[in-house]
């Protein structure tokens, strides 16, 4: 099981949108192995914004509990979040500890 994330680096959904537009990559992290329930895969995924140089990460948090990562419990939930942010495809891991990067087409690269 992955180690618990400490969140002085939490970011709201609106903050995540802004970081993505600045060229951050969105990574989907699988926290719990998903299982098929007959209609959907359920598990636990978190979303992270990774800086273009890869040196820093911001973890998506809930609005009510800014010290806890926002747990997304279905594949549909992950897809809805990223498609709602303007992504045209979504890659997500299916094993605990796995990470999959997603880059929004047309996001502004950082200015040097």
Among 52, 46, 45, which residue's Cα sits nearest to residue 20? 52
For the chain, what are the domain ranges? 10-100
pLDDT of residue 93: 97
**Pick from 2-6, 22-26, 86-90, 101-105: least confident:** 2-6
pLDDT of residue 6: 43
User: What is the residue-averaged pLDDT of the chain?
Assistant: 86
Tell whether the model's pLDDT for residue 111 goes beyond 70.
no
65-99 pLDDT tens trace: 667 889 999 999 999 999 999 999 999 999 999 99
Give the SS3 label for residue 21.
helix
Among 96, 76, 94, which residue's Cα sits nearest to residue 84? 76
């Amino acid at each position: 099981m992955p180690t618990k994330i400490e969140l002085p680096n939490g970011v709201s959904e609106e903050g995540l949108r802004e970081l993505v537009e600045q060229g951050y990559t969105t990574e989907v992290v699988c926290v719990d192995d998903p299982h098929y329930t007959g209609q959907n895969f359920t598990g636990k995924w978190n979303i992270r914004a990774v800086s273009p140089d890869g040196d820093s990460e911001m973890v998506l948090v809930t609005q009510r509990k800014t010290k806890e990562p926002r747990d997304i419990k279905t594949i549909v939930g992950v897809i809805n979040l990223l498609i709602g942010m303007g992504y045209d495809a979504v890659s997500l891991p299916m094993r605990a500890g796995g990470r999959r990067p997603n880059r929004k087409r047309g996001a502004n690269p950082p200015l040097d």
